[in-house]
Amino acid sequence: MTKNIRSFVDPMTFVRFIHVDATMLPPETWKKYDALTDADFRAYFLENKFEFVDMDVEVHELAHYWQGVAFPYIHWYAFMSLKIISEAIGALANASSDYKQWSCQIPSLRRISQKQAIQINNLNAFGEDGIRFEITELELLECYTSLIQWQIITETSAFDAATFRRWLKRNPSYHSAYDVCCKVVKSEEIAIRLFLPLVRAAFRTSRPVESFGLLLSYMNLDSSFFSTFIAQQEPCRWDELFSHILTREVDLPDANMGDFDTAQNGLLDNALGLTFGSSKLGHPILTPDTKRWLQEKESNEGFDGFLSSPRFATERNSRIHIQEIYPPSTIIRIHSPNRSRNIFMTRGVNAPSLDAHDYGEQIHSFLVFNGVIRRAAGLSLGSRLCSHQSCQHYRANFCNGYHLAPEDPKDCKFPLFLSNTIEQMNYQLSGTPKTPMLREESSWLKKNAGLLSKFLRGLRRMN
């Protein structure tokens, strides 16, 4: 990966973005890369992935994908974001045909990155002032990912708190929420044991940060029950313990979850079965793997325990998570002084051309929508996928989600792709029988008009 650009998983589409600095590759790999066509590079990458991607990056971003698949709140957030962004595109397009003039405010898209203040009051443990901290949902997710990444990769004990602390200091990582947990339970040795299942439990609820604080405040480690529980050898039944606390011991206030409100007594477990309205269409990336994950959980006792304690999972359960519950779409950005380019990969598929790959085009349209609306709303953007600073569209950066950057900026089809897709969407949402006139044929729109129509009708029925 590059020194300055982080790889990431987009929290709406759950496409994985991997950034590779070609200058840091071995010379023979760099020469081979420069000579390959995109199609040949896909094949080469599949066979030689770890020449380009660190194992740490691979596991870290894989863990983020598992969160979208199996964490009810994150699954809900992906659905909510996709719906809001699709609606916003239509509304802005109706207001102005010049996308460079678009501007909007969408506070709900900021929710995972907003600081929330939590007060933990336990008079016996912390005195009258208690412990107060501020944290975001995103920080909770990142801290979870750092710890599970370390537990999967390291060869030391999974609960060696001193080694984990040294690893946190030596590697780019997130640990603010873990530090809070250590402070509350007054022991890094205990915190490292309970942190993964604690975060998983928090993201079963409609208010993860608040629930994180509630569960921590309930951890009276001086009580005979907790003393006896902690004295057991791992694996302990942390998931069952936190589930009991959430359902029997604390009152979880429901949050306003909008159109996809599946919360029951503060729990969002039903969110993993979400579809878009009556269309029964699921999330284009997450839903197939979520269905697989739920089926395995139902038929395979202990399957989901991998996400709380991967070291104690069976070989089969580990293999399914690491090799099969795997991001189906990846965009690899190769940063090279000679030839920077984007390579679109699908799981196990060496697609000869993105334009000819219907699935890739579907994901491509959602990525473009996401990038345009996040730019219009002034939200943080992913790193650029294009280096053509002379391009007339570069400065405005509405094209930040468009990864089909051409060799020559004069050949860029971003405005055409955006206008074609918006025309098709407005046609479907308005119900007008007249077929929209597209300035140039779009292969994906021609082949998938029925699929897009079904998806958009589902959105319309929810309004």
Mind listing the pLDDT tens digit for each residue in 418-450? Answer: 887 777 666 655 554 333 333 333 443 444 444
pTM: 0.87
In a domain, 209, yes or no: yes
pLDDT (0 to 100) of residue 125: 54
pLDDT (0 to 100) of residue 357: 43
My answer on whether 195 and 314 are in the same domain is yes
Q: In whole numbers, what is the pLDDT of the chain averaged over residues?
A: 81
C-alpha distances (whole Å) from 53 to each of 25, 61, 293, 370, 418 are 10, 11, 26, 25, 31
The larger pLDDT score, comparing residue 298 to residue 358, is at 298
On the question of pLDDT at 127 being above 70, the answer is no
My answer on whether 267 and 182 are in the same domain is yes
Write the pLDDT tens digit of every residue in 154-199: 988 889 999 999 999 998 788 999 999 999 888 999 999 999 999 9
My answer on whether 342 and 439 are in the same domain is yes
My answer on whether 151 and 257 are in the same domain is yes
In a domain, 407, yes or no: yes
My answer on whether 240 and 313 are in the same domain is yes
Domain end marker among 324, 351, 386: 324
My answer on whether 237 and 290 are in the same domain is yes
On the question of pLDDT at 227 being above 70, the answer is yes
pLDDT (0 to 100) of residue 428: 55
User: What is the domain extent for residue 144?
Assistant: 70-83+107-274+286-324
My answer on whether 314 and 331 are in the same domain is no
Q: Give the model's confidence band at 25: pLDDT under 50 very low, under 70 low, under 90 confident, else very high.
A: confident
DSSP 3-state percent helix, strand, coil across the chain (nearest 5): 55, 10, 35
CB atoms within 10 A of CB 112: 19
My answer on whether 12 and 44 are in the same domain is yes
My answer on whether 371 and 447 are in the same domain is yes
Q: Per-residue pLDDT averaged across 123-147, rounded?
A: 83
In a domain, 58, yes or no: no
Nearest alpha carbon to residue 417 among 390, 450, 393: 393
Pick the most confident of 71-85, 374-388, 428-442. Answer: 71-85
My answer on whether 319 and 408 are in the same domain is no
In a domain, 217, yes or no: yes
pLDDT (0 to 100) of residue 451: 45
On the question of pLDDT at 134 being above 90, the answer is yes
In a domain, 98, yes or no: no
In a domain, 92, yes or no: no
My answer on whether 331 and 451 are in the same domain is yes
pLDDT (0 to 100) of residue 264: 65
My answer on whether 316 and 398 are in the same domain is no
In a domain, 390, yes or no: yes
Q: How many domains does the chain have?
A: 2
C-alpha distances (whole Å) from 250 to each of 145, 164, 246, 399 are 26, 31, 6, 46
On the question of pLDDT at 359 being above 80, the answer is no
In a domain, 445, yes or no: yes
